[in-house]
Structure formats: structure tokens, C-alpha cells
């Protein structure tokens, strides 16, 4: 299992376990996520692009993978995701360039022809 598949698998297992355990806090978090990423003054796509940038600046690989994939499903292009990564590099400085490497790996799985 490659790294991206492993992250996806672990996320799904943890989600199922927290749901099965009946965690009220986790359920509230999932509902908050649904509300935060629903269309409003900003489209879901734009919110996902913001999350991509925050994920890169915060060096959260699982977050990067999730939000890049979600941004693509919401209609974001490779170029739009790349610009979100670039903004994160500017905001996060040198450490964000390290995170950007992982973001590029995920982008290559979503848009293989662009890499």
C-alpha cells in the first residue's frame, strides 16, 4: 500500500471507529465540517482551496490529501490548486516548501497528466 492509500485507509478506519463509538464530539466536528464547506458566499471549491493552503502551511499530509481531492471533486483545476499551494508557501516560508512537495505528489494522483 502506498503512502496515499495508507492515509486514506487510516482516515476511513478512524472515521468508522469514531462513528461506531458514538463520539458526540466527533459527530459535531463532522457536522461542522459539512457546514463550513457548504456553498455560501464562497463556493465549496473556493473553501477547499483555502483549506489546501492552510493544510500546506500547517504541514498536515492527511489534510492536504483530503482537501486537494475535495477541491478537485468540487471543480478546482490543477492550476487553481497549485496557486493555493503557492500562497501557502508564501505564507509559511521555507517549511511550507517541504509540505508543498507532498501536495504535489497528491496532485499528481488527481491530475496525472499535469505532473
Candidates 3.30.70.270, 2.20.25.240, 1.20.1290.10, 3.90.1300.10; CATH matching 40-115: 1.20.1290.10
pLDDT tens digits for range 25-46: 999 999 999 999 999 999 999 9
pLDDT tens digits for range 68-103: 999 999 999 999 999 999 999 999 998 899 999 999
Residues 6 or more apart whose CB falls under 8 angstroms from that of 54 comprise 63, 88
pTM over 0.75: yes
Residue spans per domain, the chain: 1-36, 40-115
Question: 68 with 99: CB under 8 angstroms?
Answer: no
Place of cell 499530509: 61
- How far apart, in whole angstroms, are the C-alpha atoms of residue 46 and residue 29? 20
Amino acid at each position: 500500500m502506498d503512502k496515499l492509500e495508507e492515509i486514506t485507509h487510516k482516515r476511513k478506519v478512524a472515521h468508522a471507529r469514531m462513528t461506531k463509538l458514538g463520539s458526540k464530539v466527533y459527530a459535531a466536528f463532522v457536522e461542522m465540517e459539512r457546514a463550513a464547506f457548504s456553498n455560501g458566499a464562497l463556493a465549496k471549491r473556493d473553501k477547499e482551496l483555502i483549506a489546501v493552503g492552510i493544510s500546506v502551511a500547517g504541514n498536515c499530509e492527511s489534510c492536504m490529501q483530503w482537501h486537494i481531492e475535495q477541491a478537485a471533486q468540487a471543480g478546482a483545476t490543477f492550476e487553481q490548486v497549485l496557486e493555493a499551494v503557492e500562497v501557502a508557501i508564501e505564507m509559511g516560508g521555507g517549511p511550507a516548501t517541504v509540505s508543498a512537495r507532498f501536495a504535489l505528489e497528491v496532485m499528481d494522483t488527481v491530475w496525472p497528466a499535469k505532473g
